[in-house]
């Protein structure tokens, strides 16, 4: 008999992860809609716009990918730019498994780790910090709900066409901040006083790197300096 039979609380299932992905999905859909509109406005067909979301699935970075592709940038330059912007995702899996504990299953990590966006990571880390058990089925549900919302929103936006948001310029501008706002809301739920020094160091490094070089450098600088600050503090 497995150890789970004696556990006071069963591991969360796929459906529970799917339900917990609803706040993320509500934030993803309108932004993906905006991306679908922008993609068709830039000259891509609806299937091409949906394919970008299906394959790249990089959130706000897809708007940069769209700009690079439509401007005629070399494929290698576009690829390395997106990799640099999303390099932080390499740390999400190890950080999540550390919070889950040494006994957590990693057998299907190659599958659910693909869906570790900023918001999925924040939601999962927050749930574990509040005492929820880890399970790979739960991670698949959490990631799939967010992925479906992003791809679905892209499809609806692409079908609506490039002029769908021209009548609402304020709404179009506001959608660009929704991903950031959603991620900050998820992180605030697990914010602790012990984490404040590392967060402050990361914020300062991000601002300096962004102002001195670029947003990509700022993100990488904040990620590295924040991690180092956390290690030194411990």
Domain ranges of the chain: 12-191, 195-234
The string of DSSP codes covering 56-81 is T--TTHHHHHHHHHHTT--HHHHHHH
| pLDDT digit string, tens, across residues 159-218 | 887 666 666 666 666 665 655 666 666 566 556 677 788 888 888 998 998 888 877 678
Instruction: Specify the length of the chain in residues.
Output: 234
Long-range CB contacts (within 8 A, 24+) of 50-56: 50/151, 50/154, 50/155, 50/158, 52/154, 53/150, 53/151, 53/154, 54/151, 56/82
- Place 1 in a pLDDT band, splitting at 50, 70 and 90: very low
Give the pLDDT confidence score for residue 37 in this predicted structure.
Answer: 86
Closest CA to 147 of 173, 113, 172, 184: 113
CA torsion 177-181-182-185 (nearest 10°) is: 180
| pLDDT digit string, tens, across residues 30-86 | 889 888 888 888 888 999 999 989 988 887 778 878 877 777 777 777 787 788 778
Q: Is the pLDDT of residue 7 over 60?
A: no
Spatial distance between the Cα atoms of 95 and 109, rounded to a whole number of angstroms: 13
Give the pLDDT confidence score for residue 146 in this predicted structure.
Answer: 94
């Amino acid at each position: 008999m497995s150890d789970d039979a004696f556990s006071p609380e069963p591991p969360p299932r796929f459906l529970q992860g799917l339900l917990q992905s609803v706040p993320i999905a509500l934030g993803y859909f309108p932004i993906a809609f905006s991306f679908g509109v922008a993609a068709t406005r830039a000259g891509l067909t609806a299937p091409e716009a949906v394919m970008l979301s299906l394959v790249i699935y990089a959130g706000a970075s897809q708007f940069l990918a769209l700009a690079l592709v439509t401007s005629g940038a070399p494929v290698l330059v576009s690829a390395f730019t997106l990799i640099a912007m999303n390099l932080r995702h390499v740390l999400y899996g190890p950080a999540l498994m550390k919070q889950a504990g040494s006994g957590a299953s990693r057998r299907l990590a190659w599958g659910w780790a693909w869906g570790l966006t900023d918001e999925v990571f924040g939601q999962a880390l927050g749930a574990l910090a509040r005492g929820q058990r880890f399970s790979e089925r739960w991670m698949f549900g959490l990631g799939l709900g967010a992925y479906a919302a992003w791809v679905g929103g892209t499809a609806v936006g692409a079908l609506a066409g490039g002029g769908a948001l021209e009548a609402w310029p304020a709404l179009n501008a506001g959608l660009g901040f929704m991903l950031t706002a959603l991620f900050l809301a998820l992180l605030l739920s697990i914010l602790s006083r012990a984490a404040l020094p590392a967060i402050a160091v990361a914020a300062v490094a991000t601002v300096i790197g962004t102002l001195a070089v670029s947003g990509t450098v700022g993100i990488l600088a904040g990620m590295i300096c924040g991690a180092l600050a956390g290690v030194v503090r411990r």
